[in-house]
Amino acid sequence: MQFIAQPLPATKRVALVAHDNRKQALIDWCREHRELLGRHQLLATGTTGTRIQEATGMEVQKLFSGPLGGDQQLGAKICQGEIDLLVFFWDPFEPMPHDPDVKALLRIAAVWNIPVACNSSSADMIVRSTLMEESFEREVPDYQAYQRAR
């Protein structure tokens, strides 16, 4: 695979997702970082987005609920370069009926090299980084080269 540099913008499009047992933790995290998150664009799977919007008053673009395809919608947006940070508090204690979708979302986030936080300490470290509010370059697969080679 060849790679090319592609910048993540200073104003981030932040995807927020939490499984049911982790929703309160994500809501608490969003409350704690409300001021910073308010300077970015937020989107979320359906139930997570509704709960965060109710709890914080922040505007959140809501996709489908995870088990009905929301994880896949987020994955598609990552491929299209429409998400700059994934904060996904997935549940390490319960099996999910849509586990293949969860795995696919995490895989595609790795493919397109976006920052991913799966718990509050990693999310804290990411949002406290100076890069959170700066543009920075990261490497992504070179799709044109990939196509030419096939």
Ligand X SMILES: O=C(CO)COP(=O)(O)O
Active site residue 71: yes
Exactly one of 20, 28, 71, 84 is catalytic; which is it?
71
Measured from the CB atom, is 24 or 144 closer to ligand X? 24
CA distance readout (Å), 147 to 61, 141, 142: 33, 11, 9
- 36 close to 132: Cβ distance less than 8 angstroms: yes
CB of 84 to ligand X, least distance (A): 19
Ligand-binding site membership of 129 (annotated): no
Measured from the CB atom, is 118 or 131 closer to ligand X? 118
Measured from the CB atom, is 26 or 126 closer to ligand X? 26
What DSSP string runs through 85-135?
A: EEEEE--SSS--TTHHHHHHHHHHHHHTT--EE-SHHHHHHHHTSGGGGS-
Question: Which residue of this chain has its Cβ atom nearest to ligand X in the complex?
Answer: 66
- The sign of the torsion formed by the CA atoms of 45, 46, 51, 56 equals positive
SS3 category, 149: coil
Ligand-binding site membership of 33 (annotated): no
Ligand-binding site membership of 130 (annotated): no
Ligand-binding site membership of 66 (annotated): yes
Measured from the CB atom, is 73 or 127 closer to ligand X? 73
What DSSP string runs through 26-75?
A: HHHHHHHTHHHHTTSEEEE-HHHHHHHHHHH----EE---GGGTHHHHHH
Binding residues for ligand X (CB under 6 A): 17, 19, 45-48, 65-67, 70-71, 102
CB of 47 to ligand X, least distance (A): 3
> Annotated binding site, which residues?
19, 23, 45-48, 65-66, 98
Q: Which residues are catalytic?
A: 71
> Annotated binding site for substrate, which residues?
19, 23, 45-48, 65-66, 98
